[in-house]
Structure 1
Amino acid sequence: MPRYDQLFQEIVHTIKEDYAGFAMGQERHDPRPYVHTIGTAFMKKELDADLFYRQVNQYLAETGDRNLRFSRRPDTDYQPFTNGFFTRRSGEILIVSEVHGEDRLRPKDEIIAINGQPLRFYTETLKKRVFYSDQNDRQIWTGFLKMADQITVRRNGQAWDIPLRRFAKTEISKTNTITVDEGIAVLRIERIDETLEHLVEENKALLNEADSMILDLRRCEEGWESSMFCLLPYVLDQSVPVCEVMEGQGLLTLYTEKNCRRRIAQLKTMTADPDLAPIACEMIEELEAKAGLGWVLETEADWGAEEDALIQPIHPERRTALITDLFTAGVAEELADLASRSPRCTLVGRQSSGRYQTCNLISVVFDDMFQLDYPISRRKAWAADQASGVRCDLEIEWTPQECDEDLLMIKAKAAAKAADSF
């Protein structure tokens, strides 16, 4: 049985010394309430894996960085699970927005209480940052609901209690698709990778003939910068060198002794593979040289981009609309950020997650029970006082009506058709 109190101190030390985003939120950093709760429970012999897991997740959530993750590893006593539904906060209630397995619920059902208490009880008792945001409509209650026993649901004026169930967590397949609707090429992008590059290349004629374009990034959380380049001709309004496009996109990486040691340990597992061994050994050698250097600027050249190459826009007179939501993350946010500076583009939806500000995650396993993932790089251009995500030109508040019709797509089509482009 691990000493959870000592383990928490190790996690706090990692956040303060090795986490790339700490400097941006250190004024809010206060682990003392969690130290007190964990310490008190330990002294009373009431500290178990569930309580510890909850406390660490609440502590990490206060940073607002959803790239910081603390998870329990599968074992005989625990298997990863979901509640089988997703919610959005609206005022003083949660509204079921999606159902994935929980057949007792429907989209638009209202959750008016959790474990018999209204939402305001938890937001007043706990710090709001536990839900990742001070703004109600950007709060994420998924993790909190996984710790609850029951919810009170209201539908058509009738309310009843539902004991929460656990559904096995499964991998969600990420796909990219292209359709043409009303002369608009609509790319629904869930992962910016080689499959997207191939899709764009295979449908180049279709994209070039379309009157305008929509890039739907609502469910896009993963990808690679190099794969993003295939979309830039439809985002930029004039020829631009790669180095200019990526200006400000450089990364600052924190090469502490501990970060390098942990990354090297991960890479050593790759050396047994003959195909991966050469690059793994090269990376290990580089990390050994950088250990203890602190912050190092990773330039565009480090990403393998040709700095002098020109990116040529395709039909710059045509409009491109991008749809983002609070789950749009990573490279998709970088793309949205670039589009926000292009006169031909209109961003529709909701401010993105802000997860693109930190990246390059390291995974640490504690006692084969828990895993901490934390980023060791942050964007050079990130300032502590700036918005955590990319803002939209047309900000649209979520309402239950979105369960019935795709309001963001309707707005994006209107923006893509706009004649007075720029």
Structure 2
Amino acid sequence: MELKEKHERLLDENHAERENWTQILALYEYGETDDGQEVRFRFYQKVDYQPVYSVRKLNEETLLMTMTDFADSDSIIRMMDEHKDLLESMENWIIDVRVNYGGGDASYFNLLPYLMPEEGAELADPDEKMLFNCTEANSRRQLESVKEQIKGVKDEQTLVFLSVWQREWERNRGKGFVEFDFSEFFPDTFVKGKSEPKSIIVMTDVFCGSAGDSFVEACKKSSKITVMGRPTAGLNDYANLAIQRWDEGYELWYPTSRLSRIDHGRGMTGVGIEPHIYIPWTPLHLEEDVDLAAALKLVDSNLPTY
């Protein structure tokens, strides 16, 4: 409790599950447990991040899809193409985005027909707006970024989105806060789905943010999806980061958009997107996959999910 009180501003969270102690523990050589045992904090070499986009069969009726970010639309499309037969034949999906570092919402749009029910679902909220702060500096930095992104993308749908994104920053340059027009990319926000899979479980945690937040929020609008685990990071109140770089190697990343929900007290900062079924984190999570076991139990139960 002493460290928690001392570093309250660094933790800045409303629940122990959401606290990140990495920066704090790095300040100390050792600690002491409640029963008086000394614990030495050792420094370990940071492992380079390797994104995961995978599909594997858990049993005859259920598959597990894992996506650790939405930054590479081409890899996600390739994953879907390679496992097309499996995706369209399995009755139950479990999607793991407990660790998802975000990227672009367009990267998961090809999944929407699988995620939505056959009768369809409305993804847009008429009372929700995202406003982009199109100052000259913000527009310049975002346009520099999108030109680099376009060079490395092959997926046609993502390229359409990026071209619309580029057009909106260009035509709104210097106008301040405006709402972008994405109708060319997403003309109909009412999306009808496929018959398979019949049911989907999405596993979430606080390490799922940005486009991961958006993905989980979209999933909650589908009647055939149950979200379980812990609330997401909740990073989208202020989002769409721009980068200011200096020759000395310093970088400042800052948001260029805000959601109108903030003005109505419905912001997600510090709260995240809440699951239908909450599974509290316990030390047992360090030893076994508690969430996946609960998901498989739910798949087998045929009971109402929430």
Q: Structure 1 length as normaliser, TM-score? A: 0.59
Q: For 1:371 and 1:420, how far apart are their aligned partners in 2?
A: 50
Give 1:194's aligned residue.
74
Q: For 1:218 and 1:349, how far apart are their aligned partners in 2?
A: 8
Give 1:399's aligned residue.
282
RMSD: 3.4
Letter paired with 1:150: E
In structure 2, relative to structure 1, the CA distance for the partners of 1:378 and 1:125 (3 Å cut) is: same
1:124 aligns to 2:2 (yes or no): no
Give 2:55's aligned residue.
178
282-291 or 360-369: bigger deviation = 282-291
SS in 2 for 1:301: coil
Letter paired with 2:208: T
Give 1:253's aligned residue.
132
Superposed, 1:55-204 pairs within 5 Å as 120-126=1-7, 128-146=8-26, 148-152=27-31, 154=33, 159-162=37-40, 164-165=42-43, 167=45, 169-182=46-59, 183-192=61-70, 193-204=73-84
In structure 2, relative to structure 1, the CA distance for the partners of 1:419 and 1:353 (3 Å cut) is: same
Q: For 1:261 and 1:177, how far apart are their aligned partners in 2?
A: 36
- Shift in Å at residue 354 of structure 1? 0.4
Letter paired with 2:283: P
Q: Verify the 8 A CA contact 1:255 1:292 in the aligned structure 2.
A: yes
1:361 aligns to 2:241 (yes or no): yes
Q: For 1:415 and 1:284, how far apart are their aligned partners in 2?
A: 43
1:221 aligns to 2:101 (yes or no): yes
Q: For 1:328 and 1:418, how far apart are their aligned partners in 2?
A: 27
Identity of aligned residues (%): 20
Q: For 2:3 and 2:101, how far apart are their aligned partners in 1?
A: 28
The C-alpha deviation readout for 1:328-362, integer Å capped at 9, x for no partner, is 11222212112212221111100000023332211
Q: Structure 2 length as normaliser, TM-score? A: 0.79
Q: For 2:201 and 2:165, how far apart are their aligned partners in 1?
A: 39
Larger radius of gyration: 1
SS in 1 for 2:291: helix
2:292 to 388, 398, 409: 409
Q: Verify the 8 A CA contact 2:204 2:231 in the aligned structure 1.
A: yes
In structure 2, relative to structure 1, the CA distance for the partners of 1:121 and 1:363 (3 Å cut) is: same
- Shift in Å at residue 161 of structure 1? 4.6
Letter paired with 1:151: Y
- Shift in Å at residue 152 of structure 1? 1.4
In structure 2, relative to structure 1, the CA distance for the partners of 1:208 and 1:171 (3 Å cut) is: same
- Shift in Å at residue 285 of structure 1? 9.0
Q: Verify the 8 A CA contact 1:188 1:215 in the aligned structure 2.
A: yes
The C-alpha deviation readout for 1:5-39, integer Å capped at 9, x for no partner, is xxxxxxxxxxxxxxxxxxxxxxxxxxxxxxxxxxx
Letter paired with 2:63: A
Q: Verify the 8 A CA contact 1:359 1:375 in the aligned structure 2.
A: yes
In structure 2, relative to structure 1, the CA distance for the partners of 1:367 and 1:211 (3 Å cut) is: closer
Give 2:174's aligned residue.
292
- Shift in Å at residue 317 of structure 1? 7.5
Q: Verify the 8 A CA contact 1:326 1:350 in the aligned structure 2.
A: yes
Q: Verify the 8 A CA contact 1:213 1:319 in the aligned structure 2.
A: yes
Q: For 2:189 and 2:170, how far apart are their aligned partners in 1?
A: 33
1:237 aligns to 2:120 (yes or no): no
Q: For 1:377 and 1:232, how far apart are their aligned partners in 2?
A: 24
Q: For 1:263 and 1:130, how far apart are their aligned partners in 2?
A: 29
**What is the total number of aligned residue pairs between the two structures?**
287
Letter paired with 1:294: G
Give 2:158's aligned residue.
none
In structure 2, relative to structure 1, the CA distance for the partners of 1:216 and 1:286 (3 Å cut) is: closer
Q: Verify the 8 A CA contact 1:236 1:316 in the aligned structure 2.
A: no
1:326 to 197, 200, 206: 206
Give 1:301's aligned residue.
183
Q: For 1:345 and 1:268, how far apart are their aligned partners in 2?
A: 33
Q: For 1:269 and 1:180, how far apart are their aligned partners in 2?
A: 38
SS in 1 for 2:245: strand
Give 2:157's aligned residue.
none
Q: Verify the 8 A CA contact 2:123 2:190 in the aligned structure 1.
A: no
- Shift in Å at residue 166 of structure 1? 5.7
In structure 2, relative to structure 1, the CA distance for the partners of 1:239 and 1:309 (3 Å cut) is: farther
Q: For 1:145 and 1:367, how far apart are their aligned partners in 2?
A: 31
Q: For 2:197 and 2:51, how far apart are their aligned partners in 1?
A: 31
